[in-house]
Amino acid sequence: MKTIGLDLGSRTVGIAISDELGFLARALETYRFADDQYELAAEYVCEVCKKNQVTEVVLGLPKHMNGDQGVRAQISYDFKAMLESKGNLKVNLEDERLTTVLVDRAMISGNVRRENRKQKKDEMAAVVILQNYLDKKRF
């Protein structure tokens, strides 16, 4: 069964999807929405899940380096509730600390141009979030 991974921002949501066996995550797309219009983003993610026959979602949970959770974490909890109510989805939260830093470093070392990094950063962060979840689940 496929799983969707999400990296939620204030204007974008990076979307990744697993293979059928749940071994590998790959980038799907970045959905852009107006500032803080999370309802629209939730509806879009539910459509993506329906289209891909997905019932499980992994949503990045932003935490501070000391483990505290701030405003962004609360937005993720609220988004999780929206997805569960709108799409009848099982939503798991996955610590996303340092995923963006990891993605930036990987793209820089891969000589990806700055404008391309900006366009792909969110969906690549979603890949890292989903792959971490899949790896934990397997081992």
Determine the structural domain holding residue 33 and report its residue range: 3-138
Q: What are the strands of the beta sheet with 90-95, ordered from one edge? A: 25-32, 12-18, 3-8, 56-61, 90-95
- At residue 84, φ and ψ (nearest 5 deg) are -65, -35
Tokens of 93: 């939260």
| Total domains, the chain | 1
pLDDT, mean over the chain:
91
Residues whose CB falls within 8 Å of the CB of residue 98, separated by 6 or more in sequence, listed in order = none
Q: Confirm whether pTM is higher than 0.85.
A: yes
CATH number at residue 90: 3.30.420.140
Assess whether pLDDT exceeds 80 at residue 104. no
Q: pLDDT tens for residues 66-79?
A: 777 889 999 999 99
